[in-house]
Structure formats: structure tokens, C-alpha cells
Amino acid sequence: MSRKTRIIFHLDMDHFYTAVEERERPDLKGKPVVVGADPKEGKGRGVVATSNYEARKAGVRSGMPISRAWKLCPEAVYLPPNFPLYIRVSNEVMDIARGFADKFEQWGIDEAFLDVLERARSPDEAEALAKQLKQEIKLKENLTCSIGVGPNKLVAKIASDFKKPDGLTVVKEKEVESFLTPLPVRRLLWVGRKTEAKLKNMGIETIGDLARYDPSVLSETFGVMGLQMHLMARGIDNSEVETRSGVKSISHETTFEEDTDDPSVVLAALEALSNDVSEEAADQQLFFKTISIKVRYENFETHTTSKTLPFMTNRPKDLKKTARELLQNYLKHGRKIRLIGVRVSSFVSGEKQKTLV
């Protein structure tokens, strides 16, 4: 397979939410900090969004029940997440990083891929450029990040995780194999705990073991995913850094069985649609700012109206409240409604918000 040379950065902010909190509150410096659900002295439900490195030393991890975090580290400072703040800081960091790239792809709230081949023609130039980017983020945002540099997105992503926090790892094309070989398979994207356990049963523990394995057996066991894993283990990834506009929308609409002028029926439908839309946004780990509704009367006359909130959200209650407000004007006339719809747009992805607290 012919591969054209590329130089790709993967940027990953260090313990992002807690780092932002520490920056805002210097009194937290040096203390273990956990952002997540309210621990309620060990009785809290919900989970840890992230923890700083001091709390990680006590064993606290993202996604862990907050009650367990409390047991491991009762002395930590527990903070509720401040999403609007993290999103604002994320946007600022991404703006800085975008300025260093020929092609730029944000990946989640605190990660991005940069294709920099036009600006750095050799690994040495790339290293200098990555240092400059780290310095600029430190200077302008007072935050540290880790950067991986590699010939493709896969290697860059694994490299950014190699040395954290405040790391910089450059993997040249000819070093890819020796870099990947000793690492545990878990480092490959998409290899979750279950796959890891299955691979272990097959005697595969490192990326090198996987690269040497017979791909036909992998494909029998894991289907297409098996072949994909085998390619990844050999450091092969031809996917491009894709500049995405970042603006998307999610919408749901419903046509009533019978045209209706009963506000309670219309409001109940609006509530159900709002739930569907916010659920989908949460599933896709997206936050929105603009909420629109669509109303079609029985004669097919159609209106849309929208409101932009001063903050990013994906909370169902923000969506419902705004959608209800917007609908009020259309319920006044007593005209029969045929269809209503709800749409949200203008997103920031919080890709790793798997654990909304």
C-alpha cells in the first residue's frame, strides 16, 4: 500500500476540567481535585468526570462512581462541572491550535488533530512547531497539554498519551514499529476492556503480538473489526485530518394524527420531541446553543422561529423551557396545528462527556 508522507499532531489537554478549575482558583493548587457529581459524603450517585493528577494518585478515575472516589480520596476538593466555562476555554485553545495547522480537526472537547506538513517539512521542524504550540497555549491560557507527532492520526494519538502531563513525543515514520510494538493493545483506539480480555485469551497482550497475529483468525473472531485492529497494530492509518465546520443540527418532528388546537396535546408532543432531541445530542456528546421550533398549520402554512441561549447546554430542561416559550405565540390564535418540530444547532462537541453527571 503506498502512503504519502504526512506530519500529524495530536493535541490533548492535560486533566482538562480540573486544570481549568485550578487555573480559575489558585487556592486549589497542589490539592487533589475531582470534578463530577455531588459526593454527598459518600452517598452521592453519579460519576467522576475527571480528576487532577493528585487525586489520580489516590486511584480516582474518570467514569468511576463518585461514592468510590469519596472512599479513595475524601480529602479531595469536589466540584460540580462548569460546562459553559470548559467550552469557552476549549474554543480559545482550539482557536490557538487552528492557527498552527494546514488542516485542523477538533476531536472532543479537549483534543484535536493537526496536519502540519506545509509548515514543518521534517520531524525536527515538527518538534519545534509543537513546542511553540505548547508554549503559546501555556502563555495565553495558562494550561498544559500533551502533543504526539506522527506520520498519521493513529500514531499521533497514541504518542500524545505516551508522556503525560506536559509531554511531547515525536515518532518518525521509521520508528513507528519499534514505538508501537511494546505497548499494551489497550492503547489502540477502540480496543475496550472486553476486546482486551478476548485478545489476552488468544495470547495477545502487546500491539506487537497483534501485528504478528494471523489476520484471518482475527477476522474470524472479530469480523471486520479484527482486520481493522490488525492494520492499526501495524501503524497503518490513511484517514485524513478533516476540517469540519463544527456546526450541525439535530431535529425531530411529528405530524398529529388529527390536526389539533388543544394546547395540552401540542405541549405534550413538544415535550416528547424535546426529550428525543436532547437525548440524541447527549448520545452524540454534543452541546447546543440555538433552539428552533417549526409549526405547520392545517393549511400547510409553516413557521419557524428560534432563540439562541447565552450558553452551551444539552440539558433537556433548557431545551424544553425555550421550546415552550417559542411555541406560546403559535397557540394563541386557536388555529389547528398539523405538525410541530424541534431543532437544536450550533454545536461544540464534548466527545468525552460519556459520563454526564
Q: Tell me which of 22, 105, 110, 237 binds ligand TTP, using CB under 6 A.
A: 110
Residue closer to ligand TTP by CB (options 14, 136) is 14
Residue closer to ligand TTP by CB (options 150, 208) is 150
Q: Tell me which of 7, 49, 159, 229 binds ligand TTP, using CB under 6 A.
A: 49
Q: Is 235 exposed, middle or buried (0-12, 13-18, 19+ CB in 10 A)?
A: buried
Q: What is the identity of the amino acid at 32?
A: P
Which residues in the 52-71 window bind ligand TTP by CB under 6 A? 62-63
* 278 Cβ contact list (under 8 Å, min separation 6): 314, 315, 316, 319, 344
Which residues in the 155-184 window bind ligand TTP by CB under 6 A? 164-165
Residue closer to ligand TTP by CB (options 14, 280) is 14
Q: How many CB atoms lie within 10 A of CB 126?
A: 22
- Residue 92's binding partner out of ligand TTP, Ca ion, none, with CB under 5 to 8 Å set by partner kind: none
Contact in structure between 24 and 117 (CB atoms under 8 Å): no
Annotated catalytic residues are 111
Phi, psi at residue 147, to the nearest 5°? -125, 135
* Binding letters toward Ca ion, positions 63-102, x by CB under 5 A: ----------------------------------------
Q: Tell me which of 7, 8, 10, 12 binds Ca ion, using CB under 5 A.
A: 12
How far apart CA 315 and CA 84 sit, in angstroms, is: 12
| Closest approach of ligand TTP to the CB of residue 107, in Å | 10
Based on the shown chain and the rule CB under 6 A, indicate whether residue 354 belongs to the binding site for ligand TTP: yes
* 283 Cβ contact list (under 8 Å, min separation 6): none
How far apart CA 149 and CA 163 sit, in angstroms, is: 12
How far apart CA 190 and CA 179 sit, in angstroms, is: 19
| Closest approach of Ca ion to the CB of residue 266, in Å | 44
Cα–Cα nearest to 306, from 343, 268, 254, 333: 343
| Closest approach of Ca ion to the CB of residue 12, in Å | 4
Place of cell 447527549: 282
Taking CB under 6 A as the binding criterion, the range among 6-14, 173-181, 192-200, 285-293 that sits at the site for ligand TTP is 6-14
Residue closer to Ca ion by CB (options 16, 213) is 16
Q: Tell me which of 54, 105, 110, 318 binds Ca ion, using CB under 5 A.
A: 110
* Binding letters toward ligand TTP, positions 10-39, x by CB under 6 A: --xxxxxx----------------------
| Closest approach of ligand TTP to the CB of residue 160, in Å | 9
Q: Residue 78's beta-bridge partner residues?
A: 34
Q: What is the DSSP string of 155-211?
A: HHHHHHTTS-SS-EEE--GGGHHHHHTTSBGGGSTT--HHHHHHHHHTT--BHHHHH
| Closest approach of ligand TTP to the CB of residue 355, in Å | 4
Residue closer to Ca ion by CB (options 55, 199) is 55
- Residue 21's binding partner out of ligand TTP, Ca ion, none, with CB under 5 to 8 Å set by partner kind: none
Sign, CA torsion 55/57/63/69: negative
Taking CB under 5 A as the binding criterion, the range among 3-11, 22-30, 109-117, 236-244 that sits at the site for Ca ion is 109-117
Taking CB under 6 A as the binding criterion, the range among 97-105, 149-157, 229-237, 346-354 that sits at the site for ligand TTP is 346-354
Q: Is 114 helix (H, G, I), strand (E, B) or coil?
A: strand
Q: Which residues bind ligand TTP (CB under 6 A)?
A: 12-17, 49-50, 62-63, 109-110, 164-165, 352-355
